[in-house]
Amino acid sequence: MHSDYGYSEEKQLGKPYDVKLLRRLYPYTKPYKLLFLCSIVLVVFITLMDLSLPYVTKIAIDRYIVPGRESIKKNKAVHAEVDVRVFKADMTDPDIQRVVRKYPDLFKIQGASAQIYFRNLVKLNKKDLAILRKHDLSGVTWITALFLTLVIFSFVFDIVQVLIMEYAGQMVMHDLRLRLFDHIQSLSISFFTHNPVGRLVTRVTNDIQNMYELFTSVIAFVFKDLFLLVGIAGVLISINLKLALACFTVIPIVLYASVHFSSQARAAYRILRIKIAEINTRFSETIGGIKVIQLFLKETQNYLSFKKLNREHYLAGMRQIHVFAIFMPVIEILGATAIAIVIFYGGGSVLAGTISLGALVAFLSYMKMFFRPIRDIAEKYNILQNAMASAERIFLILDSTETIQHVGRDIDRPSLSGLKPSDTDWGSISEISLENVFFEYIRNEPVLKNISFRIKAGETLAIVGPTGSGKTTIVNLIIRFYEPTEGRILLNGVDIKKRGVRELRSKMALVMQDPFLFSETVRENITLGRDNISAAVFQQILKDSNCQTFIDRLPDGVHTVLSEGGASISSGERQLISIARAFASHPDLIILDEATSYIDSETEQKIQEALAKLMANRTSIIVAHRLSTAREADRIIVLNRGQIIETGNHAELMQIQGFYYRLNQLQG
């Protein structure tokens, strides 16, 4: 099978460029840049408050709980100075003076202060100890109040930041989904022949949701984690450079592990996105073809096929889990190693008196904090890889060039801003011409060859020929579902490429073999959103299209909600609704594509009556397989193998006894 015809597998992408993808996503965030900026500012404040908490703890320990060592003379004869831990009491305070006098053997008075060894504080009773350390207790109370204030402010800022990011993320996702949906609607029919519904549904739902995770979970939190890492590194260096450098020896290993596992994670996520799309596609096809599956007893085969696909999805998911199942413990081990370095090196430094106990406690707290953002970044990178894999697939669709070129004004096309189309001054169709038209779905395999004919206003043209001769293809070219490979199509002497697609199609109505109906009411299926149709006009449409009789039998009349595809009504009734839909559009050109192919004789009579009213005083093109529907046409074009081989009315073609004559003989 030709690779460009029918279903095709998703493209295998080359080397990922996250920066390039993020740059392409930037325009969708631009309308909300103020919100993102506010969020980042809040993140900076939150980070600063998080950084201050361990340092506040250090101050509480070193200044108020366990003050630092003091050098004092332990032996007057030798005049030797040794470092011992002492507590200084302010003798200007009368309450402290009373305590000092109460324990003269424990205190040593030096000027305006009295010193006591920390080991002797236990010899004081609790009341005296509380008096002696009342300034420390007051300091601890103040530090505690400051600590709680920072926690509360961090909590409030965190709530506000999350709300802002959630709103911005929802709006970006909203805009991106609208952009993707609008683009998909603008793509030519050829795009949908090799892109199954399930794949496109995955792009508009799952992949857009992954973009939401990117904007809400990654952007601000990565800023926070990076600020936190830089801030912690700066604080650790300021406290003790040697101990900080000793802890940083694990960072090269962390960076290597991050780079190594990130490449594996991207590959796993790419496969995962493809398998999710394939599962959605298979499930969509199963539901759509459930009658065929059950009729031909293919349930087991279809189940086994789905089971295989589901297994591939499971393996891709396990591969992704396996990557992070190794990566996260590696980070945990490195974090524990850094804390062990702090305990070993820092504990020895405390015993040696080169750093304070508060500094060691702060180091331990900061090192725990240091690896928390690394773990967070790993998790956010997990989300980022998922989002980038989705972004690649989304932009594959947005970059698709399989669109009908809007060379003309296309003033009838609504924009995302909600602007309503303005009126066109094009006028009614007076003539349609095809000049030397060639067309091929697959390169070098022409479907139409040198097709030329002309239809004047009010004329009825029938196109007949065997299956595969190109009848429907001509219709698709006139409606601009496809563009001619060569040649041109003129309306009123102007190439249709120089007119807007919607401007062109607003002049036409197509009644197909098996019309598609939406899961909406009968009225909405007929009007298709045209709110300017009055009740009287609508009733006349129902009467002219012969819909009134069967609509009266429906539970809620025209307000009855139809099932998907109109499966709850007969094919003949769907055809009548399609004719009513054509009446509602007031077209200049009517195109009937095998409009009565699947209809019983009784219903066909009703449809023929409705079509006669629809075609009255209008230009009409009838694509007919059953030649009985073509006999009344003003002119008949006979196609065979993509070429016009005969033309004329029914009597003329029968008289020459050519291909058309033989087709009539075969159909009896």
What is the per-residue pLDDT across 422-436, written as a single tens digit (0 to 9) for each? Answer: 334 456 788 899 999
Confidence (pLDDT) at 653? 92
| Confidence category of residue 1, pLDDT binned at 50, 70, 90 | very low
Look at 318 and 381; give whichever has higher pLDDT: 318
CB 349 within 8 A of CB 355: yes
CATH 1.20.1560.10 residue ranges for the chain:
18-63+139-398
Round to whole Å and give the CA distance between 514 and 375: 56
CATH 3.40.50.300 residue ranges for the chain:
431-667
CATH top-level class for 431-667? alpha beta
Look at 304 and 409; give whichever has higher pLDDT: 304
Average pLDDT of the chain? Answer: 79
Confidence (pLDDT) at 67? 63
Confidence (pLDDT) at 160? 92
Model confidence pTM above 0.75: no
Confidence (pLDDT) at 79? 44
Confidence (pLDDT) at 424? 43
Percent of the chain with pLDDT over 70: 87
Which of 257, 255, 227, 250 is closest to 339 using CA atoms? 250
User: Across residues 490-495, what is the average pLDDT?
Assistant: 89
* Cβ-based neighbour number of residue 650 at 10 Å: 18
| pLDDT, tens digit (0-9, with 9 covering 90-100), for 339-371 | 888 888 878 777 776 777 778 888 888 888 877
> Above 70 in pLDDT, residue 485?
yes
DSSP reduced 3-state for 647:
strand
> Above 80 in pLDDT, residue 471?
yes
Confidence (pLDDT) at 357? 79
The CATH-assigned architecture of domain 18-63+139-398 is: Up-down Bundle (1.20)
| pLDDT, tens digit (0-9, with 9 covering 90-100), for 499-508 | 778 788 888 8
| pLDDT, tens digit (0-9, with 9 covering 90-100), for 97-129 | 888 878 888 888 877 778 877 777 778 888 877
Round to whole Å and give the CA distance between 407 and 639: 31
Look at 4 and 161; give whichever has higher pLDDT: 161
Percent of the chain with pLDDT over 90: 10
Residue 461 bridge partners (DSSP):
621, 635
DSSP reduced 3-state for 358:
helix
Confidence (pLDDT) at 410? 44
Confidence (pLDDT) at 613? 86
Q: Tell me, letter by letter, the H, E, C secondary structure of 323-370.
A: HHHHHHHHHHHHHHHHHHHHHHHHHHHHHHCCCCHHHHHHHHHHHHHH
Confidence (pLDDT) at 433? 93
Round to whole Å and give the CA distance between 430 and 492: 6
CB 504 within 8 A of CB 491: yes
> Above 80 in pLDDT, residue 638?
yes
Largest CA distance in the chain: 144
| Confidence category of residue 209, pLDDT binned at 50, 70, 90 | confident
